[in-house]
């Protein structure tokens, strides 16, 4: 078993990642914001996966064992926080507006930027203060794809991970898993915190982001992820992310 790296402090700075590259499982004693100003970033823990395109960031609480993965040519920005100004104890996706985006990019412009010198009133401390204010105002968004623990539900989730376009009903999938649709529906609520249709839509959106990051055409993504048409996919995508798939990597 690979040892989990322990970092006393969450790093701050810039780290370009090639498609498919990542940072193996690790944890740090301070909180962190991770943001891909280009590409798509996924963060995986024992509780599931969070995926963030260029107008979303991911909050990672101190002590959380996690790994990063880049999808597409990714410009990763890391911001370590000694305190917890957001009061969040679990990984969370945050909406990144234009001002917060520029603040994060500026603050992490160097590979190893100097920490703010609190109390000196300097430019970096002022930048930090505004960045934290903007983080506190950033809306949370549910872009978490939870991991099932029960082997019956886990088997069904694995089927759809392999083929998000699989359109079988929960009852049909339950037969393959050797259980009932009522049992699976109950497990979805208990273990995933959402209904089966909600989880399947979340999975399809996650997969769509990864395919788009690899340069796959919108129409192809729509069909691979189970939408009947490109227009149906575009509508769901816009409601989830606030922009169309065609603009996903031109922000």
Examine the fold and report which residue of 113, 141, 169 is the final residue of a domain before the chain moves on.
Answer: 141
Residues 83 and 159 in one domain: no
Distance, CA of 68 to CA of 76 (rounded, Å): 10
Q: Cα separation of 77 and 105, whole Å?
A: 7
Lowest model confidence (mean pLDDT) among 36-40, 59-63, 116-120, 245-249: 116-120
Domain that holds residue 163: 148-247
Mean pLDDT of 102-129: 82
Residues 118, 45 share a domain: yes
Q: Which two tokens stand for residue 10?
A: 């969450």
- Which residue, of 124, 141, 158, is where some domain finishes? 141
- Given pLDDT bands bounded at 50, 70 and 90, which one contains residue 111? low
Confidence band of 249 (pLDDT split at 50, 70, 90): low
- What is the pLDDT at residue 117? 66
Residues 23 and 105 in one domain: yes
Considering the domain architecture, whether residues 83 and 162 belong to the same structural domain is answered as no
β-strand pairing of 92-95 with 66-81: unpaired
Q: Is the pTM of this model over 0.75?
A: yes
Question: What's the mean pLDDT in 181-203?
Answer: 95
């Amino acid at each position: 078993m690979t040892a989990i790296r322990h970092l006393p402090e969450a790093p701050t700075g810039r780290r370009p990642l090639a498609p498919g590259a990542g940072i193996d499982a690790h944890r740090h004693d301070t909180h962190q914001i991770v943001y891909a100003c280009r590409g798509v970033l996924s963060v995986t823990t024992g509780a599931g996966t969070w995926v963030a395109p260029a107008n979303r960031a991911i909050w990672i609480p101190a002590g959380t064992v996690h790994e990063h993965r880049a999808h597409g040519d990714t410009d990763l920005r890391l911001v370590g926080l000694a305190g917890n100004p957001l009061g969040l104890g679990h990984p969370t996706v945050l909406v990144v507006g234009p001002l917060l985006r520029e603040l994060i990019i500026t603050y992490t412009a160097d590979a190893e930027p100097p920490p703010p010198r609190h109390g000196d009133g300097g430019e970096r401390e002022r930048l930090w203060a505004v960045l934290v204010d903007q983080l506190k105002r950033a809306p949370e968004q549910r872009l978490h794809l939870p991991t099932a623990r029960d082997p019956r539900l886990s088997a069904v989730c694995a089927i759809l991970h392999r083929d998000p376009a699989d359109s079988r009903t929960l009852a049909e999938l339950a037969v393959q898993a050797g259980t009932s649709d009522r049992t699976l529906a109950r497990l979805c609520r208990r273990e995933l915190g959402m209904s089966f249709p909600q989880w399947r839509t979340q999975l399809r959106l996650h997969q769509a982001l990864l395919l788009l990051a690899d340069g796959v055409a919108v129409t192809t993504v729509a069909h691979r992820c189970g939408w009947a048409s490109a227009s149906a996919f575009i509508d769901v995508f816009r409601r989830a992310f606030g922009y169309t798939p065609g603009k996903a990597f031109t922000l």
